[in-house]
Amino acid sequence: MSLTRRDFARTSAITGAGVALAGSVGALATAPNALASYDTESTGDEAADARHGVGYGPLVPDPKGILALPAGFTYRIITYSGKTKLESGEFTPSNHDGTATFDGPRGTTLLVNNHELKGPRAKWKYPVPLTEGLVYDPAAAGGCTVVEVRPDGRVAEWVGIAGTSTNCAGGRTPWGTWLTCEENSDRAGVNGMTKDHGYVFEVDPCDRRANRGPKPLKFFGRYDHEAVVIDPKRGHAYLTEDAAGPNGLFYRWTPPKGFEYGPGKFRKLADDAGVLQAPKCFDSGGKFVDDLSRATKIGTVYGVDWVDVPDRDARTTPVRKQFADGEVTRARKLEGMWWGDGGAYIVSSYAREESPVQHDGQVWFYDPKRRTLTLKVLLGVNPDPSEDGAFDGPDNITVSPYGGLVIAEDGEGVQHLFGATDSGRTYPIARNELNIGTEEEPEYSEFAGVTFSPDGRTLFASIQTPGILLAITGPWKRQRI
């Protein structure tokens, strides 16, 4: 059913200004480079913010040169590409990305960790090992591993899926499995691949046998996937696409009537099961919005209609190119997603010349009940990314059990994990101090895979290059402001 202009106007009138504060984040803005904010800007004084209940204070340099944290916090290296080993004896694969946690047996915590490895295996020193029975395409280097952290601190790691390409953000399902997404849509015969790529695969961290014979979930479409979330109430899946020329899309998949979710149930669906759609947004005046970058004020609300994808497997034309101008709403660098507060938080990492308006990051909240997108975070273009202080390039994202969001930075220059409170104040949680460049031209890899343990006591995150999974603990507290 289409959401009419009258429906949207009525919804906007009911929610009023409060729609900008819906969900657990509110009208977020990051000073000093926010394009728009109300009275929610960070003071820039981390110690003062901490005294007033915001954040945890200044970051303390790490003598080991890996991770700067606030006083009282510590980190532990869980896996390290080329140093730690899998149960099978091979080294941990490199290029860590999207991650989620699960309750494991006997008090363990299980993590599924994507490895964003693109192209043929020969290109990478530490690809995901081709474990028998778990391989989709033996030519591809990517996949994901399952990491078990035991109560006594011991760690085990094994392959969840191999032979996939450029496994990026992914997403957790309500029934306790992981959906790993290929951010690459090479056809068989391209870049040495022997099978088509650009799909989503399901990985069960608790049942190794369930992962044998990997099957692409083709009904989600074939394109450069980033992230996916599942609406546990309505059954829809929402997916992001990281692509340009033209910019990518945000998708909704509606399951077939009568479909019952659960572990392994996706494998039984036909390749064309359900309906895959792209968004068509419009403002409160009913005017079509061609690109989400046009929103230049926090609290902007767009109504959303959904348009059927003509050919989800992109047999002749990439999915995003199957729509003419005026048919769908696009956005650049659609990245991480997380389900929370009854909707989906969606990241647009940055926009440049390929977009109508430039920015250094947006976070949107999609409310499926009202069928609206509300702009929660808007970061202006960072004038000097080499300087510590401003945040840019949000990527992976999670909803914090202590209020607000925790966001992994994938911008230029200095890289952080940072938080944002319900009222919109931002604060640093960690800074990557591992220089993979030179002293004259330092370079710091992005953060990825930010997620809390099921009990909320540990924040896991990765430094993507070379590939380090970290567990951060400390005096977590509710962010009151």
Task: Tell me the per-residue pLDDT of 234-283, one tens digit each, with 9 for 90 and over.
Answer: 999 999 999 999 999 999 999 999 999 999 999 999 999 999 999 999 99
Does 478 map to a domain? no
Q: Looking at the predicted structure, is the pLDDT value of residue 19 above 90?
A: no
For 235-249, the pLDDT digits (tens) are: 999 999 999 999 999
Instruction: Write the pLDDT tens digit of every residue in 302-326.
Output: 999 999 999 999 999 999 999 999 9
Give the model's pLDDT for residue 46.
59
Q: Tell me the per-residue pLDDT of 187-217, one tens digit each, with 9 for 90 and over.
A: 999 999 999 999 999 999 999 999 999 999 9
Question: Could you tell me which of 266, 244, 255, 160 has the C-alpha nearest to residue 207?
Answer: 160
What pTM, to 2 d.p., does this model score?
0.91
Mean local confidence (pLDDT), 365-385: 92
Sequence letter at residue 463: I
Cis amide leading into 129 (omega within 30):
no
Are the beta carbons of 346 and 25 closer than 8 angstroms? no
Statement: residue 404 has pLDDT above 50: yes
Which structure tokens are listed for 318? 């990439």
**481 lies in a domain?**
no
Residue 18 confidence class, pLDDT cut points 50, 70, 90: very low
Number of domains, the chain: 1
For residue 420, the enclosing domain spans 5-473
Q: Which tokens go with 428?
A: 């640093």
CATH number assigned to the domain comprising residue 427:
2.120.10.30
Confidence of residue 382 (pLDDT cuts 50, 70, 90): confident
Q: Is 479 inside any structural domain?
A: no
Is 480 domain-assigned? no
pLDDT in tens, 33-57: 333 333 333 445 655 565 567 899 9
